[in-house]
Structure 1
């Protein structure tokens, strides 16, 4: 009887492994598809809806983590220094983890998504404020989130509506707060 808890833990670990393997197999048409996606050029892998990680993610919510892991494998195989926009790949992996409620993994990737401020261009300042605000949201840091939004250099910054949504639906899961519905809500606290 003494070994029974250990046996149950082993069975539970095996079940988790099988469920993860099942999700992987449902998210890729074949093992060769996964390998083919890892060979794509950076733009094709990251920016096109019909290929790369976006294709995998489009196969259902259960494919978010396999898509994020695909991005991380792509970064590893591509030598991060040779990538033109590694920050954006880390960002997209972070979003996929956040949509799947894997906050620790999301935060780890978001922290790698900052752009070095080689200049103080509005685009770089806006991007880094967006990253900071998203991290603050996931850390339940209201003050950090609202400060990041205030640091956006322009009302027309492309990600400002996303931060507005995170503010409007603060306390909700990322997948809810990121939605168009939350972006359209009026924040009466200003």
Structure 2
């Protein structure tokens, strides 16, 4: 149902699953395992896996914190998009990469729920993509010392509101890892 023409394909978008981003994240190991199982399933089903990697002062290119977690290894032929803003589309090569793959539907996983995941989901929807959030494959750190709710509540709230997100001609929603259906590529 994407509003993007000639974009029948689905991609798994893995956002910022980097050492420095998920080191202190809520249920880190379970989330990384779920992301890993989705990466394997996407590869098996012939669905593109697109990796997004943030860099900043705190996540300097080439540093250990900047690297993708050791449990996950991007494939040599899988696109890796570098970003400096929360929205993975903003000032990056993500749109041309997805266009080249004929992708109009994204299955989104990664970190941080309350920053880059939310920004990327909204960025996708306003750009015409269908965007599905995998409810048990995204996470965030505990920012309650700065007034945020505890991470389990941040995750639950994001899952709740994305389940009911709508836009003309586009679909959104959430699904658990075990229920993800990629639909393959055409």
TM-score of the aligned structures, taking structure 2 as reference length: 0.28
Larger proportion of helix? 1
Larger proportion of strand? 2
Q: Which has the higher contact order (CA 8 A, sep 6+)?
A: 2
TM-score of the aligned structures, taking structure 1 as reference length: 0.28
Which has more radius of gyration?
1
